Chain A
Amino acid sequence: DQQVKQNSPSLSVQEGRISILNCDYTNSMFDYFLWYKKYPAEGPTFLISISSIKDKNEDGRFTVFLNKSAKHLSLHIVPSQPGDSAVYFCAASGDNTGKLIFGQGTTLQVKP
């Protein structure tokens, strides 16, 4: 039961270029989406979120786009920096308990 999918296990980009990480979901009841960044042996760190009533949210170098009709969201990082190298998880919630459903993660490598 993969309600949240990240189909690209890995992504490699050059420093300074744009990184685009993608996420698809199947449950139309999801109304809040988040991106987390995770380093090995650490917990997920919150990056940015978006409510289903919006289609874009921007915070510095990070922008999240939501396409509800396609049930698709993406995280854009521009410009990418070597310190951005980590695993990025997309997560979604749709009830009042705050339970998050995570995707499988995408490993981003930013090369100097």
Chain B
Amino acid sequence: EPEVTQTPSHQVTQMGQEVILRCVPISNHLYFYWYRQILGQKVEFLVSFYNNEISEKSEIFDDQFSVERPDGSNFTLKIRSTKLEDSAMYFCASSESGHGVAFFGQGTRLTVV
């Protein structure tokens, strides 16, 4: 069964460093998303991406964040200068349409120290 895969599963980084979280969405999906979940809190939307551009972003997704689809398969989230409060589980998701079920990856646990 097709699935969304994310790497790495766990990333530890020093405050102020740049991190890139990687995702391979399901191959025939056209809509891509990043969400995050801070420990003990709910899953929060960060950004949606369609047709090689951001279609919507949340308040959390400030200038420190960027997304890219560098080739036909990968979808990345970059955090330019990490802060302690960026520590969270980051989930990539993809869907066939902009109005359907989103399938999630297993997540990347980002720890900023």
Contacts and interface: CB of A to CB of B under 8 A. Distances in A.
Which of the listed residues A32, A97, A98, A101 has the most CB atoms from chain B within 10 Å of its own CB? A98
Interface stretch (A12-20, A53-61, A65-73, A102-110): A102-110
Given A96-B98, A96-B99, A98-B100, A43 B33 contact: no
Contact of B105 (A43, A89, A93, A99): A43
Q: Categorize the interface residue count of chain A.
A: 20 to 34
Interface of B: 4, 6, 31, 33, 35, 41-45, 48, 50, 55-56, 91, 93, 95, 97-107, 109
A81 interface: no
A99 B44 CA distance: 10
Interface of A: 32, 34, 36, 41-46, 49, 89, 91, 93, 95-105
Contact of A105 (B42, B48, B100, B103): B42
B103 A41 contact: no
B20 to A, nearest CB: 19
Given A34-B101, A42-B107, A43-B107, A99 B33 contact: yes
B44 A98 contact: no
